[in-house]
Chains A and B, each alone.
Chain A
Amino acid sequence: MTVTENEARPAPGARPEPVAHGGVRLTGVTKVFGRGATATTALQDVDLDVRPGEFVTIVGASGCGKSTLLSLVAGLEQVTTGTLEVGGRVALMFQEATLLPWLTAAQNVALALKLRGVARAERTPQAHALLERVRLGAYADKRPHELSGGMRQRVALARVLAQDASVVCMDEPLGALDAMTRDHMHDEIERVAGEAGLTVLFVTHNVREAVRLGDRAVLMGSSPGRVVHTEHIDLPRPRRMEDPEVARRAGSLTAALREDVARHVG
């Protein structure tokens, strides 16, 4: 567990008990980049409590601090004020699969195992088993450029599993994929995260995708980035992007998002 506390302040509503394994808790988190006149507040006073195994989608216009939030949780950035607690190891998945082009799919996964300290003899069989879990067993020896965009993201997903993390931050991981592949990846991420009991923080600018995947959708507003609305999505799974109920819930979220944008523009 990692606790980052940059300023001792009695956060209102802060619970004293530590966050559970797989949980993520942000209490009054503010992130400021730069100092003095050029300082920009990327996040202001964000409270978010994620249960272990919960799938939380984070939506908002560009520049609302979605990616900053993930960077904080992943430990790439430090909070300016407030408290961030993460129960366990965090893995990160980017918009680009970022596979190393000089390694095969299996070697890319095996490198994550190696850096986690898995013994040499176990790496190759484990890497192959992980690729089987994302249904890429037959492509273990292919290099990234021989794989399609969706396949590359599935290798990245296998690599996330190789990190043995309890929390996974996904920063628009499907943004570069075509609609068909994207639908397929929704099923894949949902299935794999469910099987592994992963807590997922999934950033997207696509409201419908947020409703399709999330147990909860967190709406973020911009300048400064903050949580403006949280929606529990109690629709039964499996869901589809084209389900009327998904569309309806996405519609109401879009309305809330528009309101926030209008408030800032107007």
Chain B
Amino acid sequence: MSVDTATRPVEPPADTAARSRALSALWAGTWPKVGAVVAFVAIWQAVVLSGWRPEFVLPAPLTVAQTLGDLVREPEFWQAIGTTLRRALVGFAFAIAIGTVVGIAVSRFRPVRAAIGSLITGLQTMPSIVWFPLAILLFGLNEQAITFVVILGAAPSIANGIISGIDHVPPAFTRLGTVLGAGSVDLYRHFVIPAALPSYVAGLNQGWAFAWRSLMAGELLVIIEAKPSLGSRLSFAQDFNNAPELIAYMVVILVLGMLADTVFSSQSRRMRRRRGLAVD
């Protein structure tokens, strides 16, 4: 320690203070999650140690971690992730297009709403795995069958998101649009659609979750030999009684789903904050 420290200002420089504040905020958000993971792994380890099931059926957390470490070095692992994500994105993109068009049609045209409004909610509650037998009959054991079910799983949520968003646009906004002289296109573009956006994004988020679930169901049922996917690897791991690999793939599927959800919820939080709405 040098003598001249006494002459320096006692408070740390502003940027250091800001950085330490950011770090402590990050820590405040992180430690409960880390704690939960640690607790879960500890319980898992305890169950393994209790000898409830033999280790080749229920491996220890460390074994799974080592398996995962080996997997990430294999090209097929990344190929499987690539195939699954591509299917998810293609299916989701179609679902967005169809769900959005149908949603706007239902909210705009009364007869369309009367015809299919409740059907959309019905489809939303239907487990998408129910569609697979029909999809396999229609398309065969191939990509199209999977994409078909992913779209049917996600589109109703997306349509419902935009319908409820448009239904709940404050009448004051549309009245304002009329007063400012907006025609019907401008009314949608500048007033109705932006006002409905938070609900639309919530619908997209839910749609993504359904797309992801449908896709996993599909990949377990429709196994295409030439194309390794997360679902097919999971299925093979079961066939070969390879429990560590099976659980390792489950962890990967969970993490990918959580990452996607993080993207949606951060977008949604940003939008709500900009509009001065409550952010939880």
Contact = CB atoms under 8 A, between A and B. Distances in A.
Given A115-B180, A145-B275, A102 B172 contact: no
A111 B190 contact: yes
A144 B173 CA distance: 14
B275 to A, nearest CB: 4
B190 A143 contact: no
B275 A101 contact: yes
A92 B179 contact: yes
B62 to A, nearest CB: 49
Contacts of B197: 102
B51 interface: no
Interface residues of B, number: 20
Interface in B84-127: none
A102 B274 contact: yes
Interface residues of A, number: 20
A144 B190 CA distance: 16
B116 to A, nearest CB: 30
B220 interface: no
A91 B274 CA distance: 28
A139 interface: no
A115 B182 contact: yes
A227 B6 CA distance: 81
B173 A98 contact: yes
A37 to B, nearest CB: 27
B186 interface: yes
A98 B194 CA distance: 14
A76 B178 contact: yes
A100 B186 CA distance: 14
Interface string B180-217: 11100010001100110100000000000000000000
22 contacts: A76-B175, A76-B179, A94-B172, A96-B172, A100-B191, A101-B275, A101-B277, A102-B194, A102-B195, A102-B197, A102-B274, A112-B180, A115-B180, A115-B186, A115-B190, A116-B181, A143-B274, A143-B275, A145-B275, A159-B180, A163-B180, A163-B181
